[in-house]
Amino acid sequence: MKLEDYYFKMPPLKTEPIIDDTTLRDGIQMPGLAAGPKDSAKIAQLLCDIGVERLEVFHYQEPDKKAAKLIHALKLPCRVAAWCRAVREDIDSAIALGFSEVGISHPVSHIHFAAKWPDKTPDQLLANVVDVVEYAAKDHGMRVFVHGEDSTRADWEFEKKWVNAVADAGAECYRICDTVGIGLSDPAAPVMNGIPAKVKALKKETRIKALEIHAHDDFGNAVENTIAAVRAADGVWDKIYASTTYLGIGERAGNAETEKVLLNLYMHYGVMKYKGKTEKLKATADFIGKATGYVVPPNKAIVGDYGFAHESGIHMHGVLNNSWTYEPYPPELVGNTRRLTIGKQSGKSGVKHKITELTGNQPTDEQVAVVVERVKEVYANGRRASLKEEEFKKILRIQKLLPENGTGNGNCR
C-alpha cells in the first residue's frame, strides 16, 4: 500500500493557502508559557523549515525585541511581521526593529466597542485605524494586514464598511478573527459567524486584496473552520492566509494547530509545496514544547508520543501484520515513531513480538502464555501505566527467557 491509494484525491485547489504562524505572538500568550530570544529564533527557523511562509511576532518587551533582532539576522526565507495595536507608536517600534510588515489588530464588534471605548463612536474608532494603516502603508511603505478582532460577532454592514476603509488606506489583507471560537464551517450559516459565507461576502462586497482566517478553538472547531475557509476561498480568492499556532497553543482553548492544518492541506487537498517537509513536524513539536514549557499531550494528533502507540491485543496484532490496519500513514512521514507497548490490554501477539525483540529468540506458545498471565497479574493489583522496559525484562528473567544480567536486544517502550 502507498499514500496515493488514499490521499491526494481531491482536485487541485484554485486558491493558494499560505500558513501564517503566530506561535511567537498568540501562542506564547497562553498562561504559563514563555520563550527566550534564542529559543524564539530557533522556533522561527523550524517553522520556516516545515513550510510556514509568514511569521507573526511580538515586539514590546525587551526579550521580544532581542528575539526579533535574532530572527531578522537569520535572513529566513519566510516573511516576518510585527503584531501591532492601532497606535502609531507600535508602528514606530516595528520600524525601529527592522520590520517591513505589520499586522494591525483592532476589534470590529460592538461588544468590544461598548466595553473598551464607551465614549467613542464606531466611526471615530474606524478613523483612528485608518490613520494608523495609512501611517504604516503610505507614509512608511509597509505591507499591512488588518486583524478584525471578534469578526464572527460583528455587524456585517459595519464590518464591510470597515474593511473597505482599511483597504483604501493601504491594507492588503483582512484577517477574519474568530476570537471566541463561535465560527461555523457550515456553508448555510449566516455571514456574521458563518466562515464560508464571510469568505465569499468579503470578496464580493469589499475591495480588500487578500484574506486571512484566524480561528480559536473554544468549541474545538479551529482546524475545521480554517480548512472551511480554504475551501470557501477555492476559486474565489487567489490566495488565503491561515493563521495558526504550533500545537494549538494560545489564549484559553488555543488556536488551529499549524501541524494539523499543514498536514490536511498536503494529504487531503494536495498542496504539494509541503511535500518533504512533514518529516520535521514531530521534532518541531518537541522543541517548541521544551522551549516554551508546554507539555505536549502524549495522544496529540500527528506529533504526540503516543500518536502511533499500540498496546491492545487487537490493535497490536493488526499492526504487526500490516501497519495500515491501525495507522493512517507511516509515522516516519511526520517524524514520529511507532511504539508497541505492553500493558493491561496486551495480547499474545504483542507479548510474543516484544519477547522476540528483547531476546532475539522466538518464544514457544507456552512461554508466551505464561508471560501474558504474569502481565495480567501486575494489572490485577491496580497498575495503570504501561510496563517500563525494565519491568517487562524482569518478568522475562523470572521466566528464564533472559539471563539475570541480560539487557536484551530491543527496547520495550
pLDDT digits (tens, 9 = 90+) for 142-200: 999 999 999 999 999 999 999 999 999 999 999 999 999 999 999 999 999 999 999 99
Percent of the chain past pLDDT 70, that is, above it, reads 98
Summarize the confidence of residues 42-53 as an average pLDDT. Answer: 98
- List the grid coordinates of 103: 499586522
Residues 6+ apart with CB under 8 A from 191: 156, 197, 198, 201
d(CA 290, CA 390): 26
Mean pLDDT of the chain: 95
Q: Which helix (H) or strand (E) holds 73?
A: helix 62-74
- List the grid coordinates of 50: 516545515
d(CA 250, CA 218): 11
d(CA 382, CA 368): 22
Q: For strands 101-107 and 79-85, give the pairing.
A: parallel
Per-residue confidence (pLDDT) for residue 382, from 0 to 100: 86
Per-residue confidence (pLDDT) for residue 347, from 0 to 100: 87
Per-residue confidence (pLDDT) for residue 413, from 0 to 100: 41
pLDDT digits (tens, 9 = 90+) for 207-239: 999 999 999 999 999 999 999 999 999 999 999
For the cut 90, the answer to whether the pLDDT of residue 66 exceeds it is yes
Confidence of residue 411 (pLDDT cuts 50, 70, 90): very low
Helix (H, G, I), strand (E, B) or coil at 199: helix
CATH number for the domain running over 3-292: 3.20.20.70
Helix (H, G, I), strand (E, B) or coil at 348: helix
- List the grid coordinates of 101: 510588515
pLDDT digits (tens, 9 = 90+) for 364-383: 999 999 999 999 999 998 88
For the cut 60, the answer to whether the pLDDT of residue 2 exceeds it is yes
Confidence of residue 3 (pLDDT cuts 50, 70, 90): very high
For the cut 90, the answer to whether the pLDDT of residue 280 exceeds it is yes
For the cut 70, the answer to whether the pLDDT of residue 50 exceeds it is yes
Per-residue confidence (pLDDT) for residue 412, from 0 to 100: 42
d(CA 355, CA 108): 62
Domain residue spans of the chain: 3-292, 309-398
Summarize the confidence of residues 36-48 as an average pLDDT. Answer: 98
pLDDT digits (tens, 9 = 90+) for 388-410: 889 999 999 999 998 876 565 54
**DSSP-assigned letter for residue 384:** -
Confidence of residue 349 (pLDDT cuts 50, 70, 90): confident
Integer angstrom CA distances of residue 173 from 82, 162, 268: 14, 13, 26
